[in-house]
Amino acid sequence: MKNDVVLSAKGICKSFPGVRALHNVDFSLRKAEIHALMGENGAGKSTLIKVLTGVYSKDDGQVYLDGIDGEIQVNSPHDAQELGISTVYQEITLCPNLTVAENIFIGRGSDRFVNWREMMVKADALLEKLSIPARAKQQLGSCSLAVQQMVAIARSVDMDCKVLILDEPTSSLDEQEVEMLFRLMRDLKKNGVGIVFVTHFLEQVYEVCDRITVLRDGELVGEYPIQDLPQVELVTKMMGKELDDLSDLEKKEKVIKEHAEIVYEATNLASAACPNPFNFKIAKGEVNGFTGLLGSGRSESVRAIFNADKVTSGDIKVNGKPVQIKKPIDAMKNGIGYLPEDRKRDGIIEDLSVRENIILALQVMKGFFRPLSRSQQDAFVDEYIKALGIKTASTETPIKSLSGGNQQKVILARWLLTNPQYLILDEPTRGIDIGTKTEIQKLVLKLAEDGVSITFISSEIEEMLRTCSRLIVMRDRNVVGELVGEDITQDKIMRTIAGGEDANEK
């Protein structure tokens, strides 16, 4: 290894049943650098981290660590910690009911009796050294998320870590907390620690990192000095598109009605998960969409519209009239339907039948003291199974037995049965075959022709081009642009995501 390389991985391969998660991936981390590990969902970032920290065993490849001859074997997170490789995850894994000092030193040593005074003195000295605004005797749960993250880092530093892996540490922090964390990262860098930084926030990468490694579909795209990779090029490498080769797919002509009735309008809308207020409106029969990289805030935005997450601010109008939408049932009663991003977690009820899953939303709206008759249920379900081409042995088949595409059609049927005037579809085609994807896209355009307003979100830009007449572009939980009509091209989408046309010119 080069003298300045603290951690090196060569030819890492890892597969799971039916999935090749990593294929021949190289990665190197230098001393005293902050190195961004970038890639879209499923690119292999988490798998690589888990291989390096002993959560997963690698199928092939070698890992080397500065100061140790030959390759190292990391068989568990404890092994990684002993070797000086520490990881701080997005979810705090410390104990909020214990003091800051106890969290720093918990599990250390084997003495039966703890010298509490000495522990507090050491903890306060460490906190002061790292400029962490907390006291040793303070209960960890009383600290902000940023300070809790910093305490987890302090624990790693006190254990003489050579490599610090930060996995999405800023996803729940505000701007001031992020800057506090960045100050600590820069101090650790000055002291020779190599830091791997995983984030979906592009601006943060360019603010604090020295180099970038990009993964896509489990393979290494490349490793780049930060100054050699403008944001727009980073986006293209993550998404697998080259700007010069982009061509829009043929799509059905979409008419933009300038004076169409506004069905839903929100002003200064924000939620616990989407704290930056935004304005949004959609006209009758319009198909619009939120686009941006994973983690940009697109899903959080539509969850705020449906109130799937607690809304903290905003004024809402439906059909021009002010309304109060404080929970999902309020949204449903105002004609809003929502197909969530994660159909298994938030969509289907696995142990219920196809029939029960389809009639669920309508029954909730009617109230459980006004049950649909079985004949009504059968009539509705038969109609939508036929209309959407749902492949199922019977209406009583458990939905978990259906393919992913047919499960998605069942959830679509659930919302169509409520006769919505505004339908939100978050990743409706993820993980389903190309034939079903095409059917769903055609259905979206047909519903729009019939006057239904639709917000459509997809990680595949081609789908957005086919379906949307207006795109709201998001980056780092902020709306950074809006594209309409002929301006909706892959080139302009990616340039807007990356920070604009002018910001990235060479």
Domain extent listing, the chain: 5-229, 261-335+421-506, 338-419
* pLDDT confidence tier of residue 89, bands split at 50, 70 and 90: confident
What ranges make up the beta strands (E) of 43-184?
A: 60-65, 85-89, 163-167
Average pLDDT, the chain: 85
CA proximity to 19, closest of 431, 337, 357: 431
The CATH number of the structural domain formed by 338-419 is 3.40.50.300
Higher pLDDT: 242 or 127? It is 127
Q: Which amino acid is at 499?
A: G
Contact in structure between 431 and 458 (CB atoms under 8 Å) = no
- Of 452, 404, 449, 462, the C-alpha closest to 424 is 452
pLDDT at 66 over 60: yes
Name the region of 295 (left: φ>0; alpha: ψ -120 to 50; beta: rest): left
Contact between 501 and 486 (Cβ < 8 Å): no
Can you tell me the distance from the alpha carbon of 468 to that of 251, in angstroms, rounded to the nearest whole number?
A: 10
Strands 219-225 and 211-216: antiparallel
* Residues making up the chain, counted from first to last: 506
Helix axes 145-158, 116-129, angle to 10 degrees: 110
Q: Do the Cβ atoms of 481 and 298 come closer than 8 Å?
A: no
**240 band by pLDDT with thresholds 50, 70 and 90:** confident
* 291 DSSP 8-state letter: E
Query: What fold, for 261-335+421-506?
Result: Rossmann fold (3.40.50)
- Residue 382 or residue 401, greater confidence: 382
17-26, 81-90, 327-336, 388-397 — most confident range: 327-336
The superfamily (CATH) of domain 5-229 is P-loop containing nucleotide triphosphate hydrolases (3.40.50.300)
C-beta separation of 324 from 333 below 8 A:
no
pLDDT band at 257 (very low <50, low <70, confident <90, very high): low
Q: How far apart are CA 461 and CA 494, in angstroms?
A: 9
β-pairing, 470-475 vs 478-484, is antiparallel
Q: Give strand ranges (E) for 17-73.
A: 19-30, 34-38, 60-65
The residue among 292, 342, 281, 278 whose CA lies nearest residue 458 is 292
* Ramachandran quadrant class, 443 (left: phi over 0; alpha: psi -120 to 50; beta: rest): alpha
The answer to whether residue 251 scores a pLDDT higher than 50 is no
- For 181-213, write each residue's pLDDT tens digit: 898 899 999 989 999 999 877 888 999 999 999
Stretch 90-102: mean pLDDT, rounded?
82
Average pLDDT on 127-137 reads 86
CA distance linking residue 456 with residue 221, whole number of Å = 29
Question: Percent of the chain at pLDDT above 70?
Answer: 89
Residue 17 has pLDDT above 90, yes or no: no
Q: What is the pLDDT of residues 442-497, one digit of tens each?
A: 888 889 999 999 999 987 777 888 889 999 998 888 899 999 988 888 888 888 88
Percent of the chain with pLDDT over 90: 45
Per DSSP, helices labelled H in 339-433 are 354-366, 374-388, 404-416
What angle, 0 to 180 degrees and rounded to 10, lies between the N-to-C axes of helices 404-416 and 354-366? Answer: 30
pLDDT in tens, 263-275: 999 999 999 888 8
The angle formed by the CA atoms of residues 442, 318 and 295, to the nearest 5 degrees, is: 60
Q: Read off the pLDDT of each residue in 153-175 and give the average, rounded to a whole number.
A: 80
CB-based contact 469:287 (threshold 8 Å): yes
Of 18-32, 168-182, 477-491, the least confident: 168-182
Least-confidence region, from 72-86, 92-106, 193-207, 357-371: 92-106
pLDDT at 266: 95
Q: What's residue 160's pLDDT?
A: 75
Residues 391-443 have pLDDT tens digits of 888 899 999 888 777 888 899 999 999 999 999 999 888 766 556 677 788 88
Average pLDDT over residues 296-309: 91
Which residue is associated with the tokens 């910690």? 81
Report yes or no: 478 and 293 within 8 Å, Cβ to Cβ.
no
Residue 138 in contact with residue 150, Cβ under 8 Å? no
CA 145 to CA 188: how far, in whole Å? Answer: 19
Q: What is the CA radius of gyration of the chain?
A: 25
pTM here is 0.60
Which spans in 166-222 are helix H?
Answer: 175-190, 202-208
C-alpha dihedral (466, 470, 475, 481), degrees to nearest 10: 140
Cα–Cα distance measured from residue 381 to residue 375, given in angstroms and rounded to the nearest whole number: 10
Look at residue 346 and give its three-state secondary structure.
helix
Cα–Cα distance, 393 to 401 (Å, whole number):
10
